[in-house]
Amino acid sequence: MTQRRLSPGRLVAATHNKGKVKELKDLFEPLGFEVVSALDLDLEEPEETEASFAGNALLKARAAAKSTGAPALSDDSGLAVTALGGAPGIYSARWAGEPRDFALAMQKVERELDDIGAEDRSAKFVCVLAMVWPDGHEEVFEGEVHGELVWPPRGERGFGYDPMFVADGETITFGEMDPARKHGMSHRARAFEKLKAALF
């Protein structure tokens, strides 16, 4: 498919995750977009049945574009821990259970690393942004940020696994970092830069 431009206007963020919605608003609203979330619109959250970040991102964006008739952007992202073979990966949110408790999810990551006596604490955050138009046109963009895991978690900012992740070249966790600074280097920011270069 040929690439197309994304015009400012209403954009549906196909997520029920308030942390992701805030980050997407911070990225898109300065460019003239009105970002409304699947949560705001009371859209059903589709079950993530695909085996990859890209597959799950497309699944969610397709459902939102079909339901609303508006362009939809979905973010599927997660933490991939080297010593755990890339886990929790696409199951990052599910490790937090329902209702989602990322303090427990972080404890589970740490416990599994302890169980195998892992000395390698390297990890990466992966983000795939899927943009789907109501006519079925689709674009996918991926970003990664590499770093190390720390314990105990530090910081009250960010969301998810941010308090246990220190990006390469940094000394503080994403949970301690000013949001504007995190937005400049995060996996989501890197995927967004690719999206912006292609669609704007």
Q: For residue 129, is it left (φ>0), alpha (ψ between -120 and 50) or beta?
A: beta
At residue 2, the pLDDT reads 62
Whether pLDDT at 59 is above 90 = yes
pLDDT of the residue at 175: 97
Mean pLDDT of the chain: 93
154 pLDDT more than 80: yes
The residue among 127, 115, 25 whose CA lies nearest residue 79 is 127
> Domain extents for the chain?
10-199
How confident is the model at residue 3, as a pLDDT? 67
| pTM, two decimal places | 0.89
Residue 125: what are its φ and ψ, rounded to 5°? -95, 135
At residue 64, does pLDDT exceed 90? yes
Q: What amino acid positions are annotated as catalytic residues?
A: 76
Q: Which CATH architecture best describes the domain 10-199?
A: Alpha-Beta Complex (3.90)
Give the Cα separation of 42 and 188 in Å (integer): 24
SS3 194: helix
Tell me if 132 sits within 8 A of 138, measured CB to CB: yes
For residue 58, pLDDT over 60 is answered with yes
